[in-house]
Structure 1
């Protein structure tokens, strides 16, 4: 059963960019235990435990989600949009959407001509983003312009469904689940008086270029960091495990090994999992990650960075699926990792 914090993260509408609503959920949760909670000019929320501690540890997850941006109101009052982040256009068809305006969120839908009216070519062709439109029920472009402005963001309507075996499905598991993991781990750390200074960062704009992580890592200037994001679960039809590895939902969080992972950090994550009986999986990455870990690793003079990821089915769709047990074990792993680091911990490979 998802706790209140996770439910709020997944049920609160986002804005596919700065995510002010989500960040308020994070501030409300962390203010109960963190020594300080601040929001920087970029929109990142930074919650700190024991700021006077020795080693600075950064836990990062991004709160933003993929979405759309209003580019034009056409002559019939429909919204024409651009994509924010990587969309499969087929996924968008038939979705319930929210248009985030200055006066609040407005419901809308994305569809296309009924199948009865599609010609043979249209039936076998995936539409392009410029061919889609959002219908908010307006009768004219003037009516639409009264409530929607160019540049307003659009996201799928939030949802959370509990499936069998502790699986949950919904919008923006990428990466609200990561935010839950790092802030829950931070709460665990706060209760046990760490020797290190631990910073939990809910970062913005990962989906458009790891932008929030760049600025927050520069400001915090940590010696060691863990980026938490989702990764592709490969235990569903159509995914080649020979190419993408064997990653199972419910098998535990995934610790990434490769060029983006400091070997000392990787070894400490593994030994921490073993000593505390935390199930984990290992995946290899032969190139820089497409998540915040890539930006954090090369911040300033470099940071000893690790990647912990959550198996996720159907990524970048409104029905992403994760296992609650993977989230809980990831939070435990990060908390114990932070508590294991002291001034004698060697981070040089």
Structure 2
């Protein structure tokens, strides 16, 4: 879990993914992969198995939801703009890091104590535009002396921890450092077995602000099949229980529908069949909201078979989140078994209508 801890504690909001990219480059290089980048900063390690084709892409995304400093007030407080989707109710009194060129500063998203709230304020959900970050400065001049500027990234704070059950992982940015971890571990495990294809493992940039790296990356790596490795929403808290809802610990999550894509059906069926053949538990997800990098991957060139494989996660798009280590391990195992089947003929059959 050390590598996953490094990934989650690295700071990488959209457009500022360098720390995470460096960690990925180090691990992919250790595995002997040829490193590739697109022009936006997405990173991939390419390594052939027993054949150069087909080319199979397994990719998480480097970025996490966060903020950018948008204004420095005369009193030394920082206004901020969201990078990615946030619900403002999860923000007040949370600690953040402002990352400057010289060093980082801890701040807190300011809130009034209940003693002085009016009745109207108590019932109001504050919009982000009215919030501010307090870094302990006395003036805008002091903030500038410290090197904090408009445009600096702001990153949530939450240390990595494995909970007492030994399975539940708590950390920030599991959306989607979990996917980065899966991509590297799939490549690592495929070193130990033959696979009739070339693996391209890595992660895109700027997913949280519009799947931007996923639009440019395929032009660099030219995949024939793509798997986006991402989290889905766990709905297993009090009041959320129900048949078919994703839960922690019940297996990797296969997305059958989201707002950005319907997966290639033969590929979907192959993944399900492989899970059942290998006694790997799995869950399915159908969501009308949200999307993943597969929403862009599958539109590359003439269109390529794509699917989302990931894990259920609690509390995403907040300062902290939770996933199951067991789900993570089973997701990696499932991808390895599927990739071992992806030879030229199998991939051709995924789009048999082309001829």
Which category of TM-score, normalised to the shorter sequence, fits these structures?
Answer: over 0.9
**Distance between the aligned counterparts of 1:28 and 1:116, measured in 2?**
51
Question: Following TM superposition, by how much is the alpha carbon of 1:275 offset from its aligned partner in structure 2, in angstroms?
Answer: 2.0
Q: Which residue of 1 aligns with 2:320?
A: 319
Q: Could you state the TM-score of these two structures normalised by the residue count of structure 1?
A: 0.94
Q: Deviations over 1:183-222 (max 9, x none)?
A: 1011111332422011112111000000011111222221
**Distance between the aligned counterparts of 1:6 and 1:62, measured in 2?**
14
Q: Deviations over 1:72-130 (max 9, x none)?
A: 10010110011111111121111110001111221111121222121111111011111
**Distance between the aligned counterparts of 2:103 and 2:12, measured in 1?**
12
Within a 5 Å distance, the mapping from 1:86-165 to structure 2 comes to: 86-146=85-145, 147-165=147-165
Contact 2:37 2:220 in 1 (8 A): no
Contact 1:16 1:154 in 2 (8 A): no
Question: Following TM superposition, by how much is the alpha carbon of 1:300 offset from its aligned partner in structure 2, in angstroms?
Answer: 1.4
Within a 5 Å distance, the mapping from 1:222-301 to structure 2 comes to: 222-239=223-240, 241=242, 245-258=244-257, 260-285=262-287, 290-301=291-302
**Distance between the aligned counterparts of 1:27 and 1:280, measured in 2?**
30
Question: Following TM superposition, by how much is the alpha carbon of 1:17 offset from its aligned partner in structure 2, in angstroms?
Answer: 2.7
Question: Following TM superposition, by how much is the alpha carbon of 1:338 offset from its aligned partner in structure 2, in angstroms?
Answer: 1.1
Q: Which residue of 1 aligns with 2:215?
A: 214
Question: Following TM superposition, by how much is the alpha carbon of 1:285 offset from its aligned partner in structure 2, in angstroms?
Answer: 4.4
The answer to whether structure 1 residue 174 and structure 2 residue 175 are counterparts is yes
Q: Deviations over 1:154-207 (max 9, x none)?
A: 011141122133101121110111111111011111332422011112111000
169-178 vs 108-117, greater mean Cα deviation:
108-117
SS across alignment from 1:344? helix
SS across alignment from 2:297? helix
What is the aligned length? 344
Contact 2:14 2:205 in 1 (8 A): no
Question: Following TM superposition, by how much is the alpha carbon of 1:14 offset from its aligned partner in structure 2, in angstroms?
Answer: 2.4
**Distance between the aligned counterparts of 1:191 and 1:184, measured in 2?**
12
Q: Which residue of 2 aligns with 1:18?
A: 16
**Distance between the aligned counterparts of 1:332 and 1:232, measured in 2?**
21
Task: Give the direction of change, closer, same or farther, for the CA distance of 1:191–1:37 in structure 2 (3 Å limit).
Answer: farther
**Distance between the aligned counterparts of 1:39 and 1:102, measured in 2?**
23
Q: Which residue of 1 aligns with 2:206?
A: 205
SS across alignment from 2:344? coil
Q: Which residue of 2 aligns with 1:308?
A: 309
Task: Give the direction of change, closer, same or farther, for the CA distance of 1:135–1:187 in structure 2 (3 Å limit).
Answer: same
**Distance between the aligned counterparts of 2:121 and 2:32, measured in 1?**
54
**Distance between the aligned counterparts of 1:76 and 1:114, measured in 2?**
20
Q: Which residue of 1 aligns with 2:193?
A: 192
Contact 1:203 1:212 in 2 (8 A): yes
Q: Deviations over 1:231-267 (max 9, x none)?
A: 111111233747xx42110000011224521011111
What's the C-alpha RMSD, in Å, of the aligned pairs?
1.7
Contact 1:255 1:282 in 2 (8 A): yes
The unaligned stretches of length 5 or more in structure 2 are none
Q: Could you state the TM-score of these two structures normalised by the residue count of structure 2?
A: 0.92
Within a 5 Å distance, the mapping from 1:336-347 to structure 2 comes to: 336-345=337-346, 346-347=349-350
Contact 1:13 1:158 in 2 (8 A): no
**Distance between the aligned counterparts of 1:275 and 1:145, measured in 2?**
61
